Structure 1
């Protein structure tokens, strides 16, 4: 067995997958997660690292013979043995792939949206959190039904399906799935506890304690973490030396160590990501208040209140409207998977919510569907190109700016915002829609 090196930061839940798989298969794997071998945020941005792993993402695996792999599920598959992959049973192999895909598409996005704010590494958004809770309930319901007569997800033994899903659910069980929330999903909890107590899991995860009380967003913790991103601010004040001294005495002993105590290494790594500049800082103040429109859209009738408000206040000099269409309709199979494609994109675009609004619709039926939508952006450039934080899935769509005064634009805005109309340009019936707000 050739072996290799796994580059990651400490306590990266994605890295747990290949590490647990390696425990089962006895694959020799070296972990590089601290200096001098690897330092997240520095090593993965060097030309040498990017030559091997162009995206700079971790975990990343380099075999002793020089080949490289990224994406944790692919690495886990490589280091696993045949039993973990589903042995020689083609059905089991397909089911393993199915549950790994299920984990990545249906569990990770809502789990991140719900858990990250409780760790102080993402701003709280009530709507996103509530939506994530509902999606997690759906996911747990599907799993609970499947596990009603099964010990493990596929076959009679642990496979990559169990490893992947356990790791994806790990932070949920540790942070937010309190007893009352998880009570209806007893089969899932029984399976999860069984997995994390296997010797191979414990060798990587240690003892896993299920949460007693649902963690909430802590504004103080979030505020304490954020100054790490804005260190230049501390050098500015010089006018009030007395007040500054008092603040230093209060801040130095207490708040500074707090984030170190409260955050593990994986959270620190996420929290230490530099705060990106506002791509719209150069634009003049706009009279169109996006948040006010979103309130109208959420709480009032779309056709009689929200749309008239939109057109009355929309400022075409400072905002633009775009039509987007998914490039690969032939790849869209099951409608629930296509819908999840939209949801996943939205959940990973949380940082764009303040300056964007969208209605994206799935048209058609299984194996005969399309995705398209209408987006509203600040400024007149395609927003995704302006910030690395926003470059999520947009390249899978074709984008066309609409003339806000045109009849075409008015019709599209009305139909897409209201989810009703002829949709003549589509040629398929409305199936379901998603709103980004």
Structure 2
């Protein structure tokens, strides 16, 4: 295996920093290619990399994308965890990316002035980060490092995911409940190998806040118009006042256990009251995941789609002027998917980022059980959907057939003059 390679990534990209730190530990000779927004991305696609996957890496004939895979390639045996702990190392790296990265972007980007704040998304992000840190703090109570007695890629990956949160969003008061995490984090960032890449890490001295001036400055630098709105926050829908509860006669003590069981089931599954229909969502997802999409999965969908009990929807992100780097737009979708966990059994969606850095849009195609907007079935599904326009499609129309084919095929779909950049499938 070659001990030299080239890394493609934007400057100071937190996903690439774990690769650079791993190379600093192992002695791997890593060269950073000059990153030019749009141009570098196009060059990587021509080289055979998936669209929008950064960081990317070349070493001889070897081509890799995604940070954890590249970090493992450039690391030494100790960082990988050795033969006995490699699975534990991968476990923490993957868990951290799923737990901290989506909410981190929703919380940190407004603090940097990159996007406008969305109160609902930020509160959901804070809750998810807190849950992750609570687990991590408990786990580190009796440990110096995450896996074994020495630093591994598990520590490197999790620390790099937390770095933007600790530097830009979480002040001392918000970090204080996680003393074990803070002790572990400070130990890592003061290691020579970390310092070589990150420099002196300065943590936030107060909770991060949105700056309208900073937001306008960044928009002007990227060619956008100054935001004349005095209020930075998007107008939030007025909360419906709870109707006064009617006096109801006390329930008879004869309420059955079956009634209580049914109520709990409905609380757990917001789709429980909807007719089941004939479409087998699990079987469709197996076909989509394992068979050729164009010749098998799409015909299967149309042959089995149940328009009486399922509906097709097209959506577009309402604030494209807020979108900056492509990976941030992709993370926005990832965060939305995580918060829609309870829809997995009943819905399928394809979301796509089009365009290039500082000039992109997001749209998608969904179908789910029921004829109305699925998000209105439960409050915990409503964090993100109001940031999109939603249009119900007629499954018999030519438009629906074209959209299904394009969005199901994803990066191989025909989107007309729209340039596919990144995409995610909800299944």
Does 2:62 match 1:73?
Answer: no
Assess if the C-alpha contact under 8 Å between 2:96 and 2:157 holds in 1.
yes
Does 2:2 match 1:6?
Answer: no
Structure 1 residues 324 and 210: alpha-carbon distance in aligned structure 2, compared to 1, 3 A threshold: farther
Task: Tell me the TM-score normalised to structure 2 length.
Answer: 0.61
SS at match of 1:84: helix
Residue-by-residue CA offset, 1:112-168 (whole Å, 9 max, x unaligned): 111111111112111111111111111110100000000000110111100000000
Does 2:338 match 1:348?
Answer: no
In the alignment, what sits opposite 1:362? 342
Does 2:159 match 1:166?
Answer: yes
In the alignment, what sits opposite 1:119? 112
Mapped partners of 2:239, 2:208: distance in 1: 31
SS at match of 1:54: coil
Mapped partners of 1:71, 1:325: distance in 2: 30
Mapped partners of 2:8, 2:20: distance in 1: 11
**Residue pairs, 1:33-432, within 5 angstroms:** 34=34, 38-46=35-43, 49-63=45-59, 65-89=60-84, 92-230=85-223, 294-296=237-239, 300=242, 328=285, 348-349=332-333, 360=340, 362=342, 370-373=344-347, 384=351, 387=354, 399=367, 409=371, 417-419=376-378
SS at match of 2:21: helix
In the alignment, what sits opposite 2:382? 435
Assess if the C-alpha contact under 8 Å between 1:60 and 1:69 holds in 2.
yes
Q: Highest relative contact order (Cα 8 Å, sep 6+), 1 or 2?
A: 2
Once the two structures are overlaid, the 10-residue window that deviates more, 93-102 or 51-60, is 51-60
Assess if the C-alpha contact under 8 Å between 2:105 and 2:332 holds in 1.
no
Structure 1 residues 61 and 384: alpha-carbon distance in aligned structure 2, compared to 1, 3 A threshold: closer
In the alignment, what sits opposite 1:266? none
Pairs aligned (count): 298
Assess if the C-alpha contact under 8 Å between 1:5 and 1:31 holds in 2.
yes
- Cα offset, 1:81, TM superposition: 1.4
Structure 1 residues 54 and 291: alpha-carbon distance in aligned structure 2, compared to 1, 3 A threshold: same
Residue-by-residue CA offset, 1:40-62 (whole Å, 9 max, x unaligned): 3322223x653332314321101
C-alpha root-mean-square deviation of aligned residues, in Å?
Answer: 3.9
Mapped partners of 1:183, 1:361: distance in 2: 30
Structure 1 residues 151 and 371: alpha-carbon distance in aligned structure 2, compared to 1, 3 A threshold: same
Structure 1 residues 10 and 387: alpha-carbon distance in aligned structure 2, compared to 1, 3 A threshold: closer
Mapped partners of 2:361, 2:280: distance in 1: 16
- Cα offset, 1:70, TM superposition: 0.7
SS at match of 2:376: helix
Mapped partners of 1:221, 1:134: distance in 2: 26
Structure 1 residues 119 and 373: alpha-carbon distance in aligned structure 2, compared to 1, 3 A threshold: same
Structure 1 residues 345 and 329: alpha-carbon distance in aligned structure 2, compared to 1, 3 A threshold: farther
Task: Tell me the TM-score normalised to structure 1 length.
Answer: 0.59
Unpaired segments ≥5 residues, structure 2 = 227-233, 247-278, 288-327, 385-427
Residue-by-residue CA offset, 1:311-340 (whole Å, 9 max, x unaligned): xxxxxxxxxxxx99676489xxxxxxxxxx
In the alignment, what sits opposite 1:355? none
In the alignment, what sits opposite 1:28? 29
- Cα offset, 1:386, TM superposition: 8.8
Mapped partners of 2:210, 2:53: distance in 1: 27
